[in-house]
């Protein structure tokens, strides 16, 4: 998948303010992503037919070609963008993180979700994942985990 979902419909965007600098947020984001989606995540990824079912951390930091469960790194720009893309039987999707410096040393971490859900099975899957609020909950929890990890590292 190329273009990191630029051809995919926008689903939503969520953000959190982090009392830490961009470097801490960048590291915390990757650490959180590589440690998340453990055993149950792998099982779900396999059941859905995801191409990426394992973490392949090529350099201890996100680089193009690294994988986490369900996603492949399409773009990794430490100055402020991490773009992940994936697909399975019911969807093609992207999750794009942007890290913006704020005054006073704080950072805003944004997560944009893009996805398409082709066919009747895709429409049902969209209802289950997006319509139920499950995706919002998962992204919100992820952002909160990154915020806590980055703030601990900055302290």
DSSP string of 96-131, one letter each residue = EEEEEE-GGG-EEEEEEEEEE--HHHHHHHHIIIII
Q: At what angle do helices 22-35 and 134-154 cross, to 10 degrees?
A: 130
Model pLDDT, residue 61? 85
Hey, which CATH number is domain 3-154, 1.10.40.30, 3.30.530.20, 3.90.1150.10, 3.40.50.360? 3.30.530.20
- How high does pLDDT run on average in the chain? 92
Report field, pTM of the whole predicted structure over 0.85: yes
Strands 10-18 and 107-116, how do they pair? antiparallel
Domain boundaries, the chain: 3-154
* Residue labelled with tokens 């190329």: 2
134-152 mean pLDDT: 96
Where residue 56 falls among pLDDT bands split at 50, 70, 90? confident
The secondary structure of residue 3, as a DSSP letter, is: G
Rounded distance, CA 144 to CA 104, Å?
20
109-129 mean pLDDT: 96
Looking from the CA of 60 toward its CB, the CA atoms found within 13 Å total: 0
Angle at 33 between CA 25 and CA 40, to 5 degrees: 155
112-127 mean pLDDT: 96
Q: What are the residues whose beta carbons fall under 8 Å from the beta carbon of 12, sequence distance 6 or more?
A: 112, 113, 135, 136, 139
Model pLDDT, residue 4? 53
Taking residue 128's Cβ as centre, other Cβ atoms within 10 Å add up to: 12
Rounded distance, CA 66 to CA 70, Å?
11
Where residue 90 falls among pLDDT bands split at 50, 70, 90? very high
pLDDT at residue 2 is higher than 60: no
Least trusted range by pLDDT, from 11-20, 56-65, 85-94: 56-65
Tallying the residues shown for the chain, one arrives at 155
Specify the higher pLDDT residue, 41 or 150.
Answer: 150
């Amino acid at each position: 998948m190329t273009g990191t979902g630029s051809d995919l419909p926008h689903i939503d965007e969520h953000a959190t303010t982090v009392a830490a600098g961009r470097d801490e947020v960048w590291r915390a984001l990757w650490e959180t992503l590589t440690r998340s989606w453990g055993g149950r995540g792998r099982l779900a990824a396999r059941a859905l037919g995801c191409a990426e079912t394992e973490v392949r951390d090529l350099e201890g930091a996100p680089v193009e070609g690294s994988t986490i469960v369900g996603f492949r790194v399409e773009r990794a720009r430490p100055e402020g963008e991490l773009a992940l893309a994936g697909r399975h039987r019911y969807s093609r999707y992207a999750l794009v993180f942007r890290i913006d410096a704020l005054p006073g040393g704080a950072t805003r971490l944004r997560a944009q979700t893009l996805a398409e859900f082709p066919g009747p099975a895709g429409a049902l899957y969209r209802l289950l994942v997006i319509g139920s609020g499950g995706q919002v909950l998962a992204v919100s929890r992820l952002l909160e985990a990154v915020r806590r990890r980055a703030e601990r590292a900055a302290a």
